[in-house]
A and B are shown apart, each in its own frame.
Chain A
Amino acid sequence: MMSSQYLTPRAYQGLTRLGDFLLPGTAQMPRFSETHCIEHVDSILSTTPKTDRDDLIRVLILVSILPSWVINRLLSWSGKASGGLAASQANKVTLWITTQLRLFDLGLRGVVFSLYYSGLNDDLTHTPRVYHAMDFQLHCQPLDTDKA
């Protein structure tokens, strides 16, 4: 069930689709949509500047309707633009294009990976979930005086 005060139903659908595209699941790791981590998307969007949020919503709506091969191609292009350090482009047009591709990569992968690798809704009673599959947990014991 959709729960976001920022995403339209179509954008929400696009994010679910994008999530499963980026994180399709392996033998040990769940698919994006299986974790229900998308329910926490407003934690991210509430602190995202409105102009960035609006841009993201437009892209997610596009993702919801584009053929898979187009999404794949876009993600590959944007990944290549982000794939290594390089001197900043002197040509303004080239600089603008590579910047947009980097922002596309950073924005889309950023939202999906932030949700998935947050461990939220990563219920260990089900098999197998993200942190469980990674065998990841942090421990820091507050001081005894804090308990009182």
Chain B
Amino acid sequence: MQESYDFAIIGSGPSGSVLAHYLTQAGAQCVMLEAGKALDKRTYPKNELHANSQLMWNGGMDTSQDAQLLFLRGKVLGGGSVINQCLLDRFDALALEDWQAKSTVDWHQLADFERHYNEVESHLCLHHFTDDEHQRNAQLFMQGLDQCGMKWTRLRRGQNNCGHNAKTGQRNDCMQCLNGCVRDAKQSMPVTFLRKARQQGLALLTEFNVTQVIHGQHFVTVFGEQQGQPRQIRARHCIMAAGAIGSTELLLKSGFSSSLPALGQGFTCHPQLMNIGLFDEPVDAHLGTFQSVKSDEPQFRQQGFKLENVFAGPIAIAMLKPGFGQEHQDFMQKYRHMACIEVAVRDATEGQIRLNNKGELVIDKRLQPADLQRAQAGLNAVERVFDAVGAQSVLKSPFSFGLHLMGGCTMGEGVHNSVVNSDFGVWGYDRLSIADSSIFPNAPGINPSLTIMAMAHRASEVLLAKYPCRSQYTRHIPAQDRSDLVLESVTETKTVVLKSAAEKSTLANASAKKMKLKSEGNKVTTEV
């Protein structure tokens, strides 16, 4: 039997998990397809090498076509929320004004977003860092910014009981969280929205590699393979939530580009440059709270960059230092003496995601003079900050990382310059929506994670308005609730409401509707 659901959600990151929560909460039968493994706090890799290979696509070695940018994207249950720092900022007026200017979507404004931010934030533990939590790397950053007359602010992070206690001196090293949080303290999807969705009956298929999406008149069929076995999933509606690269690549490989000329356009990634200052005394940037402060300088925002205190494990730091040999090893031995400030650039120019003539993914994202100008302004600020606090030397990043991957299926008001409409629907395909960062019209210059969740909440409202019924498909119902079953079924012509177990047989006899109903324990399955 082909598996059928109300909604198939491709991807389990901030978009897919938030959608899964609100849709299952409303009674819809949803299946989530995730390419990565279902790891948890007990099984997350402890080692940087294993984290790269087990938690990221292509071992964290996806590069732009010209190999100047390295893209890190999660391939694990929970997606990017497992490997990010869970910094949860709201967008400001500038970001949304720029969105509206590009997309002309009327709800791209702060007043419309506030309700969605409030709603998703109510499900998360949000923490503003306090003075006694800053470790030495953050302190140097703050001192340097102060001495240069530059403003800074504390970061807001999704976390719950990281186990730091300034009075007792107890601390944990939150850099470990980049491999997945072993305390379930970081508010990643598997411990927040996804957990709730699973409790509400979400069907979850992990290690499921989706290869093609076929849009039909009545259903969307998702083809893929799971652990080497071919699989097909059918749903009334399919939601792409596989991230900017994942969703775009899947649509390209499914042949949508002929009817969607803007598919793959508008790719941005907030190129991030990590810069290291060497100090006489140990900084121990890898210990404690890890990342707690960012610049809050209006001039930087206007110039198109921001600064954050950040750091990385030995492998990533080794890659930042050009060269090799004993000099390189001497540098790495000073790991504990390194402070780090990152420049995050708000992309001035857009790239393109496409397939080459072999059908392989190409990410054509080149740093143009306008981007380099922004990066250089940020690097100059970093140099001033490090000089102000007495760094021996400064190593500027030789290449940049793309962690905030956005665009490729941008939202707008026409098929010629966008892929989805203001209701998250793919132009010309009624049963296909996209709700992840691929729909961002341009780069906001702000951490996108919270806004992805907020938009997913809005998308769930749109979808539930479009499909106001409860499920007609497989539903797992606790035994004690079976007598209260309320199951609505929508066919092409009419709605059938199944109010109790006693009515199942009535519906089962409704052969005119070509519908079959089977009861298997606590599982009710219909086939159309």
In the bound complex, do residue B173 and residue A139 qualify as a contact, i.e. CB atoms below 8 Å apart?
Answer: yes
Q: Which of A110, A138, A140 is most buried by chain B, counting CB atoms within 10 A of its CB?
A: A140
1/0 contact trace for B263-291 toward A, CB 8 Å?
Answer: 00000000001000000000000110000
Q: Which of B174, B318, B330, B360 is most buried by chain A, counting CB atoms within 10 A of its CB?
A: B318
- A75: chain B residues at CB < 8 Å are 324
Known: A79-B322, A119-B47. A134 touches B67 (CB 8 A): no
30 contacts between A and B (CB under 8 A): A21-B324, A23-B324, A24-B329, A43-B49, A43-B50, A44-B53, A44-B59, A47-B59, A48-B59, A49-B58, A84-B398, A85-B273, A86-B367, A87-B368, A98-B66, A103-B67, A109-B318, A109-B324, A115-B49, A117-B313, A117-B315, A117-B317, A120-B49, A136-B314, A136-B336, A139-B176, A140-B173, A140-B182, A141-B183, A143-B184
CB distance from A23 to the nearest CB of B (A): 6
In the bound complex, do residue B47 and residue A120 qualify as a contact, i.e. CB atoms below 8 Å apart?
Answer: yes
Known: A85-B375, A103-B67. A139 touches B399 (CB 8 A): no
1/0 contact trace for B321-340 toward A, CB 8 Å?
Answer: 01111101110110110000
Interface membership of A46, Cβ < 8 A = yes
CA distance A135 to B396 in the complex (A): 24
Interface membership of A40, Cβ < 8 A = yes
In the bound complex, do residue B322 and residue A136 qualify as a contact, i.e. CB atoms below 8 Å apart?
Answer: no
Interface membership of A66, Cβ < 8 A = no
In the bound complex, do residue A26 and residue B333 qualify as a contact, i.e. CB atoms below 8 Å apart?
Answer: yes
In the bound complex, do residue A85 and residue B49 qualify as a contact, i.e. CB atoms below 8 Å apart?
Answer: no
Interface size class, chain B:
35 or more
Interface membership of A124, Cβ < 8 A = no
CA distance A29 to B58 in the complex (A): 29
In the bound complex, do residue A118 and residue B49 qualify as a contact, i.e. CB atoms below 8 Å apart?
Answer: yes
CB distance from A141 to the nearest CB of B (A): 6
In the bound complex, do residue A113 and residue B367 qualify as a contact, i.e. CB atoms below 8 Å apart?
Answer: no
Interface membership of B85, Cβ < 8 A = no
In the bound complex, do residue A117 and residue B329 qualify as a contact, i.e. CB atoms below 8 Å apart?
Answer: no
With CB as the reference atom, state the residue of chain A lying closest to B282: A135
CB distance from A40 to the nearest CB of B (A): 7
In the bound complex, do residue A24 and residue B326 qualify as a contact, i.e. CB atoms below 8 Å apart?
Answer: yes
Known: A87-B369, A117-B48. A139 touches B172 (CB 8 A): yes
Interface membership of A9, Cβ < 8 A = no
Among residues 71 to 116 in chain A, which have CB atoms less than 8 Å away from a CB atom of chain B?
75, 79, 82-89, 95, 98-99, 102-103, 106-107, 109-110, 113-116
Task: Count chain A residues whose beta carbon lies closer than 8 angstroms to a beta carbon of B.
Answer: 57
Q: Which 8 A-B pairs have the closest CB atoms?
A: A88-B366, A118-B49, A102-B67, A117-B314, A22-B324, A113-B318, A140-B176, A140-B172
Interface membership of B163, Cβ < 8 A = yes
With CB as the reference atom, state the residue of chain B lying closest to A133: B333
With CB as the reference atom, state the residue of chain B lying closest to A29: B329
Among residues 15 to 67 in chain B, which have CB atoms less than 8 Å away from a CB atom of chain A?
41-42, 47-50, 52-54, 58-59, 61, 63, 65-67
Interface membership of B118, Cβ < 8 A = no
With CB as the reference atom, state the residue of chain B lying closest to A117: B314
- B372: chain A residues at CB < 8 Å are 85-87
Interface membership of B175, Cβ < 8 A = yes
Among residues 455 to 503 in chain B, which have CB atoms less than 8 Å away from a CB atom of chain A?
none
In the bound complex, do residue A119 and residue B61 qualify as a contact, i.e. CB atoms below 8 Å apart?
Answer: no
In the bound complex, do residue B325 and residue A22 qualify as a contact, i.e. CB atoms below 8 Å apart?
Answer: yes
Interface membership of B68, Cβ < 8 A = yes
In the bound complex, do residue A46 and residue B48 qualify as a contact, i.e. CB atoms below 8 Å apart?
Answer: no
In the bound complex, do residue A106 and residue B67 qualify as a contact, i.e. CB atoms below 8 Å apart?
Answer: yes
Interface membership of B437, Cβ < 8 A = no
- A48: chain B residues at CB < 8 Å are 58-59, 61
Among residues 129 to 171 in chain B, which have CB atoms less than 8 Å away from a CB atom of chain A?
161, 163
